[in-house]
């Protein structure tokens, strides 16, 4: 698939602080790319450069065919952004904010009214549409911010922490709306520090830390890239001999085996779902009945830890 | 290529926002009434007949016309405070991300900031014209058109100042100083003939002098001390052009999200 965003050596320095450090990345048309990293990783700064809100110190990015440093006006016609912190004046009302946003994005009067009403109803803000934002909770303000992008339906939707401050029911609703937005033709660049959100929504995940891109791939491939990242715990009816263990280790993709009890094994491997039938077959052949089996795969946090030596939570604290 | 639709959309937003500051609007109107009903009337009683003659026969008329210009100035300059309010809430970043060019944004905001000031002051202006009496409608129309440009210029000036300083405290203090100097070193409150020569030298080139004298000319006040309407109109056009251009330049070259205090 062709790239709709091409980031080349993008760098942003604030004095001596390098917020984004020679970032290069391509985002394909129609995909959801999750930009994952702790606070201060450079995610928001990257997004702000892509929306031309701030200027790169070095390097550039192409939005479609438009260079953000040379043709920012054209680049902005393809992009819409929902910010991490809702950007709303306290004296405004949701209706004013969204109606103006739709108008400035060039929607006709009829379409504007239709879409604004739809978004306000979907996000349960219709009855509050004429109340001033000053009276709103953080979650309500965040919903108004998200509504902007749902109304605009841009070619490239840039969404920064879409569900921070939103309750769990609201999170699911917004995740479905983001998927719908993609299905309607938008490419989505989603910055988040929520692992579950990145895993659930993203076709590919780009992990950032201290302004640098560490790795970018499909979530499954990222998890599989950790040697022995999957774990299968097997409880057996009887004890296993050392010889059997040595033979079990010969199965391709098994990295290590830990005997927690004489009849209880912890097997570290890759692509567990493909190896599991071979393991069960092995024990059946060895006439060692399996009492129970439990399989777990690594999370994106494990992937982050693999590349940085820190969990996201630890990185956030530093 | 500048899209007039987008310029108008930006301007419309600023006008709508202004209407939401009801407390400010009411207080400014009370200030205006106090200035003409108290200060204007009392000072008018204090002045010698020869002074009254030199300002067109009645100082009160001269003064209320000037007060209209200070009202236009102080409400048009309010767009700068809006910019800080927006910076506080991150709305600057939002405005920089929408599909509008920086030129459209600055021109739209200058027009919005100016037009809302003009619309707000219009009832007061009509009231003042009723007090003075209109003698030449065509002159008045020319004056109105120039005052339109004057308010856009003041809004452009305020935007330029706000985005150059990027600190609301400093902007507030600076604007207070500017207000004291710009208003007092102009003919809004008194004629140029009564100023010390070195003050008059500055006042002659003050955009508030151009606007006040042009409005007086439009309202038919016959004072020998008014700036020539052609020079005043030229001064206002120059003022508008300089600050609109500066605003565009700063938005294109300097403005980024973040970094506001």
Task: Classify A227-297 by CATH class.
Answer: alpha beta
Residues in A closer than 8 angstroms to B93, CB to CB, are 48, 53, 83, 87
Residues in B closer than 8 angstroms to A54, CB to CB, are 256-258
Higher confidence at residue B73 or residue B165?
Answer: B73
Question: Do A224 and A271 meet the contact criterion of CB atoms below 8 Å apart?
Answer: yes
Interval B95-154: pLDDT, tens: 999 999 999 999 999 999 999 999 999 999 999 999 888 878 898 998 899 999 999 999
Confidence of residue A228 (pLDDT cuts 50, 70, 90): confident
In this structure, what token pair is assigned to residue A80? 């819409």
Q: Do B13 and A83 touch (CB under 8 A)?
A: no
What mean pLDDT, rounded, does chain B reach?
Answer: 89
**pLDDT given at position A175:** 95
Residues in B closer than 8 angstroms to A80, CB to CB, are 97
pLDDT of B169 higher than 90: no
pLDDT of A129 higher than 90: yes
Q: Measured between CB atoms, does B89 come within 8 Å of chain A?
A: yes
Q: Residue A106: which of B16, B23, B6 has the closest Cα?
A: B6
**pLDDT given at position A174:** 93
Length of chain A, in residues: 318
pLDDT of B261 higher than 70: no
Percent of chain B with pLDDT over 90: 54
The shortest C-alpha distance from A146 to chain B (Å) reads 13
Distance CA A37, CA A315 (A): 9
**pLDDT given at position A305:** 83
Interval A291-304: pLDDT, tens: 999 988 888 888 88
Q: Residue A295: which of A271, A265, A272 has the closest Cα?
A: A272
pLDDT of A180 higher than 90: yes
Assign A124 to helix, strand or coil. coil
Task: Classify A3-223 by CATH class.
Answer: alpha beta
**pLDDT given at position A212:** 95
The shortest C-alpha distance from B8 to chain A (Å) reads 10
> How far apart, in Å, are the Cα atoms of A39 and each of A35, A113, A139, A164, A310?
12, 37, 20, 13, 14
Q: Do A89 and B91 touch (CB under 8 A)?
A: yes
What mean pLDDT, rounded, does chain A reach?
Answer: 91
Our measurement of the distance from residue B69's CA atom to the centroid of its chain's CA atoms, rounded to an integer in Å, reads: 6
Interval A213-225: pLDDT, tens: 999 999 989 988 8
Distance CA B150, CA A113 (A): 36
**pLDDT given at position B9:** 96
Q: Measured between CB atoms, does B86 come within 8 Å of chain A?
A: yes
**pLDDT given at position B85:** 87
In this structure, what token pair is assigned to residue A138? 């953080």
pLDDT of A248 higher than 80: yes
Burial class (CB in 10 A: 0-12, 13-18, 19+), B97: buried
Confidence of residue A111 (pLDDT cuts 50, 70, 90): very high
CATH 3.30.70.100 domain position(s) in chain A: 227-297
pLDDT of A253 higher than 90: no
Our measurement of the distance from residue B216's CA atom to the centroid of its chain's CA atoms, rounded to an integer in Å, reads: 15
Sheet holding A264-269, edge to edge: A254-261, A264-269, A230-236, A290-296
Nearest CA in chain B to A141: B89
Q: What is the DSSP letter of A202?
A: -
Collect contacts of B161-166 with beta carbons under 8 A, ≥24 apart: B161/B80, B162/B79, B162/B80, B162/B81, B162/B83, B162/B84, B163/B83, B163/B247, B163/B250, B163/B251, B163/B254, B163/B255, B164/B250, B164/B254, B166/B87, B166/B259, B166/B260, B166/B261
Distance CA A90, CA B119 (A): 23
Question: Do B209 and B189 meet the contact criterion of CB atoms below 8 Å apart?
Answer: no
Q: What is the pTM of this model?
A: 0.85
Q: Which range has the worst mean pLDDT, A162-171, A177-186, B245-254? A: B245-254
Residues in B closer than 8 angstroms to A85, CB to CB, are 90
**pLDDT given at position B258:** 62
Confidence of residue B235 (pLDDT cuts 50, 70, 90): very high
- The residue of B17, B20, B94 whose CB has the most chain A CBs within 10 angstroms, and thus the best one to mutate to test that interface, is B94
Higher confidence at residue A101 or residue B256?
Answer: A101
**pLDDT given at position A33:** 97
Q: Residue B243: which of B157, B155, B171, B146 has the closest Cα?
A: B157
Confidence of residue A314 (pLDDT cuts 50, 70, 90): confident
CB contacts under 8 A, B 18-57 vs A, are 20-21
Distance CA B9, CA A245 (A): 73
**pLDDT given at position B260:** 56
Interval A69-96: pLDDT, tens: 999 999 999 999 999 998 888 889 999 9
Terminal Cα-to-Cα distance of chain A (whole angstroms): 38
pLDDT of A148 higher than 90: yes
Distance CA B259, CA B87 (A): 9
Average pLDDT estimate for A182-210: 94
Burial class (CB in 10 A: 0-12, 13-18, 19+), B231: middle
Average pLDDT estimate for B181-202: 90
Interval A32-70: pLDDT, tens: 999 999 988 999 999 999 999 999 999 999 999 999 999
Terminal Cα-to-Cα distance of chain B (whole angstroms): 33
Residue with tokens 């002051």: B121
pLDDT of B79 higher than 70: yes
Q: Do B89 and A89 touch (CB under 8 A)?
A: yes
β-strands A17-28, A156-160 pairing: unpaired
Q: Measured between CB atoms, does B3 come within 8 Å of chain A?
A: no
Residues in A closer than 8 angstroms to B12, CB to CB, are 100
β-strands A187-192, A156-160 pairing: parallel
Residue with tokens 């309607």: A184
Average pLDDT estimate for B225-251: 88
Percent of chain A with pLDDT over 90: 67
């Amino acid at each position: 698939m062709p790239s709709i965003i091409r980031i080349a050596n993008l760098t942003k320095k604030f004095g001596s602080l390098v917020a984004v450090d020679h970032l290069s990345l391509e985002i394909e048309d129609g995909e959801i790319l999750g930009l994952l990293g702790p606070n201060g990783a450079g995610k928001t700064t990257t997004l702000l450069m892509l929306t031309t809100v701030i200027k790169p110190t070095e390097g550039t990015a192409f939005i479609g065919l438009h260079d953000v440093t040379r043709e920012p006006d054209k680049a902005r016609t393809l992009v819409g952004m929902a910010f991490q912190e809702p950007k709303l004046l306290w004296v405004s009302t949701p209706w004013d904010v969204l109606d103006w946003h739709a108008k400035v994005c060039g929607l006709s009067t009829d379409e504007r009214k239709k879409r604004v009403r739809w978004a306000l109803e979907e996000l349960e803000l219709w009855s509050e549409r004429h109340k001033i934002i000053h009276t709103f909770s953080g979650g309500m303000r965040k919903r108004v911010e998200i509504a902007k992008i749902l109304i605009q339906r841009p070619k490239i939707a840039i969404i920064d922490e879409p569900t921070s401050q939103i309750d769990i029911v609201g999170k699911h609703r917004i995740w479905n709306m983001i998927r719908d937005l993609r299905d309607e033709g938008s490419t989505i660049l989603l910055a988040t520090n929520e692992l579950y959100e990145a895993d659930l929504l993203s076709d590919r995940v780009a992990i950032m830390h201290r302004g640098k891109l560490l790795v970018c791939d499909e979530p499954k491939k990222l998890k599989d890239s950790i040697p022995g990242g999957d774990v299968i715990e097997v409880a057996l009816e009887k004890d296993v001999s050392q010889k059997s263990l040595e033979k079990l280790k010969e199965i391709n993709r098994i990295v290590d085996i830990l005997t927690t009890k004489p009849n209880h094994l912890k097997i570290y491997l890759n692509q567990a779902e493909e190896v599991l039938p071979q393991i069960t077959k092995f024990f059946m052949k060895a006439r060692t009945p399996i009492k129970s089996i439990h399989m777990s795969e690594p999370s994106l946090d494990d992937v982050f830890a693999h590349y940085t030596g820190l969990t996201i939570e630890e990185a956030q604290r530093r | 290529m500048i899209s007039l639709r987008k310029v108008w959309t930006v301007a419309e937003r600023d006008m709508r926002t202004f209407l939401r500051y009801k407390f400010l609007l009411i207080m400014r109107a009370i200030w205006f009434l106090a200035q003409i009903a108290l200060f204007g009337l009392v000072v008018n009683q204090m002045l010698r007949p020869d002074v009254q003659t030199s300002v067109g026969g009645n100082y009160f008329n001269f003064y209320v016309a000037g007060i209209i210009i200070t009202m236009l100035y102080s409400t048009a300059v309010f767009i700068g405070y809006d910019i800080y309010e927006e910076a506080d809430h991150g709305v600057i970043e939002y405005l920089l991300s929408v599909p509008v060019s920086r030129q459209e944004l600055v021109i739209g905001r200058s027009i919005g900031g100016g037009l809302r000031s003009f619309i707000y002051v219009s009832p007061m202006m009509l009231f003042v014209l009723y007090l003075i009496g209109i003698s030449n409608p065509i002159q008045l129309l020319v004056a109105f058109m120039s005052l339109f440009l004057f308010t856009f210029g003041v809004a452009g000036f305020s935007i330029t100042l706000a985005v150059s300083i990027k600190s609301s405290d400093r902007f507030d203090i600076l604007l207070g100083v500017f207000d004291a100097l710009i208003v007092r070193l102009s003919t809004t409150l008194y004629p140029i003939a009564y100023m010390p020569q070195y003050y008059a030298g500055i006042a002659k080139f003050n955009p508030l002098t151009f606007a006040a004298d042009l409005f007086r000319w439009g309202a038919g006040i016959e004072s020998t001390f008014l700036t020539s309407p052609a020079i005043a109109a030229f001064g206002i056009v120059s003022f508008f052009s300089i600050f609109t251009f500066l605003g565009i330049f700063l938005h294109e070259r300097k403005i980024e999200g973040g970094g506001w205090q």
